[in-house]
Amino acid sequence: MIRKVFSQFFNGVFLITKEHNMPVTVILGTQWGDEGKGKGADFLAENADIVARFQGGPNAGHTIIIDGQKTVLHQVPSGILQPRPLCILGGGMVINPITLCQEIAALDKQGVQNIRGRLHIARNAHLILPLHRDRDARMEKSHAIGTTGRGIGPAYTDKISRLGFRAGDILSPLFKQKTRLRVDDYLKSIDEKEDALVLAEFFSACEDLRPFVSDTVDLIHSALADNKLVLAEGAQGTLLDIDHGTYPFVTSSNTTIGGACTGLGIPARAITRVIGIIKAYTTRVGNGPFPTELLDETGALLQKRGDERGATTGRDRRCGWLDLPAIKYAVKVNGLTEAWLTKLDILDTLSEIQVCTEYFADGFCAKASGVINCLETVTPSYVTVQGWEQEIRGTHKFEDLPQAAQNYVRFIEQRIGVPITQVGTGPDRTDNINR
Ligand code: GDP
Ligand code: IMO
Ligand code: MG
């Protein structure tokens, strides 16, 4: 009896200890996407056992540059260029089988090792059908969000409507038949028929993806039980979150911290580190409010120096000053434990830099959380800080930055209340300062 109680006690302690050590790190965007999450995730992936995308789909474009060689990942997690980690496309994602196969083929061609042994697709991840892209394009005509046109919204709509198909369905003998019925229904619902909905290529890609469909929840939980490091990689950014962003000018998934739990099947308490990526200024692709947008030559300069062109659609990104009320909102919503500041080097040529420190609405100071639904009505108030007018590209030590650049980093850090532990000084994998 005593032995039994003892063993239960020790089992209990053991379990608690294991749960407390569950080391999930989440990396996510704090702005409107394109903050440099891909580069950050690749950096962290060196020591990770699993890298898992938890939401979004091929609307993402995550850039990694290694010794000048550029790779843009859309659906495959940014851990794939490191030799070791398993890479998971999580259940919160919407996956386009055709473009995923193309992405895998391109990585193969590039010489990336052991993709087949390392890549796993969650059974509950939803599939983007050709009809979703068609519907995305049609909706843009009447309701312009400026989407990436990748079928994201319609695929998530079908998921929520319980009409979707999931990666696990590929394994079912009824998959093709059910999909064809769905497409027939869709064709009946639209006026002009298009022949772009041919399913042969889609089915062929689904066949190719069969071996990748796995029990990813178990893969992740087994890793956590062994105290391995799991990295959850976000796409888009906090202000594009379907619930917390600048609705309706948002994407159709939860880009914020909760998305990591639902999108991967992990408990909230497994997350021990939350890294928010902040670009040293602000960019946005697509429509919607942008309080600090610069429509002048400074905006054009940021666009040009920052090479601010969408990694997915090639559209020019809108550019503006850093928006601290928005970042503070992202700090709160996501519970950031730290922040990484990227693209500091893009500000090198400026003699003065403006930073938005407050919003005013109806003459009163407003928090982003209070005006997120009407951000177009706020007037930003700025503090001017000194520029450094000196090249910092490739700098590796914080002390080697010009004083004004150090001050800029410290100024942001003080205002947002979380430490900035990495500063990006160039696009290459190694262009970082770790503090
Ligand atoms: P993501 O969607 O958040 O992964 O970001 P993107 O890849 O869409 O856009 C970020 C761009 O900035 C990419 O072209 C990166 O190579 C580049 N980048 C990331 N960090 C830095 C940095 O610190 N300095 C410079 N100059 N470029 C960077
Ligand atoms: P990464 O992961 C920047 C934007 C689109 C559009 C809105 C809705 O590279 O940071 P969607 O196609 O998702 O329905 O489009 O969201 N958007 C992004 N902007 N970076 C992204 O991803 C984006 N993914 C979607 O431009 O305004
Ligand atoms: Mg991007």
* Mean pLDDT confidence for 337-355: 98
Catalytic position from the list 42, 49, 62, 428: 62
Residue 50 reports pLDDT greater than 50:
yes
pLDDT at 18 over 70: no
- Residues 403-434 as b or e (16 or more Cβ within 10 Å = b): ebbeebbebbbebbebebebbbbbbbbebbbe
191 is catalytic: no
Peptide bond into 248 cis (omega under 30): yes
Per-residue pLDDT tens over the stretch 262-313: 999 999 999 999 999 999 999 999 999 999 999 999 999 999 999 999 888 8
Decide if 195 is inside a domain.
Answer: no
Query: What digits encode the pLDDT tens for the residues 163-179?
Result: 999 999 999 999 999 99
Residue 377 has pLDDT above 50, yes or no: yes
Q: What is the pLDDT of residue 91?
A: 98
**Ligand 1 lining (C-beta closer than 6 Å):** 29, 33-39, 61-63, 65, 311, 342-343, 345-346, 424-427, 431
pLDDT reported for residue 196: 55
Q: Phi and psi dihedrals of 64, rounded to 5?
A: -130, 130
pLDDT tens-digit readout, 89-100: 999 999 999 999
pLDDT score of 15: 46
pLDDT of residue 397: 98
Q: Which atom of ligand 1 is nearest to the CA of 432?
A: 23
Q: Is the pLDDT of residue 318 over 70?
A: yes
What does the pLDDT read at residue 193?
Answer: 65
* Residue whose CA is at the smallest distance from ligand 2 atom 21: 236
pLDDT tens track for 321-331? 999 999 999 99
pLDDT, residue 21, reads 63
CA of 67 to the centre of ligand 3 (A): 20
At residue 92, the pLDDT reads 98
Lowest mean per-residue pLDDT among 12-21, 194-203, 340-349, 423-432: 12-21
C-alpha–C-alpha distance, residues 117 and 144, integer Å: 41
The pLDDT mean for the chain works out to 94
Task: Write the pLDDT tens digit of every residue in 114-172.
Answer: 999 999 999 999 999 999 999 999 999 999 999 999 999 999 999 999 999 999 999 99
Assess if residue 387 is contained within a domain.
yes
- 371 in a domain, yes or no? yes
Burial of residue 52 (CB within 10 Å: 0-12, 13-18, 19+) is: buried
pLDDT of residue 6: 44
Q: What is the pLDDT of residue 313?
A: 85
**How many independent structural domains does the chain possess?**
1
Residue 361 lies in a domain: yes
pLDDT at 67 over 80: yes
What is the model's pLDDT at position 194? 61
70, part of any domain: no
| Boundaries of domain holding 382 | 278-434
State in Å: Cα 33 to ligand 3 middle: 6
Asked if the structure places residue 347 within a domain, the reply is: yes
Cα(38)–Cα(163) distance, rounded to whole angstroms? 32
- The predicted model gives 348-360 an average pLDDT of 98
The CATH number of the domain holding residue 371 is 3.90.170.10
* C-alpha distances in Å from residue 363, one per residue of 50, 98, 192, 379, 393: 49, 51, 50, 9, 41
**Considering the domain boundaries, does residue 373 fall inside one?**
yes
Does residue 282's CB lie within 6 angstroms of at least one atom of ligand 2? no
Dist. CA 100–CA 212, nearest whole Å:
11
- Three-class DSSP category at 276: strand
pLDDT on residue 421: 98
The whole model's pTM is what? 0.95
Residue 299 lies in a domain: yes
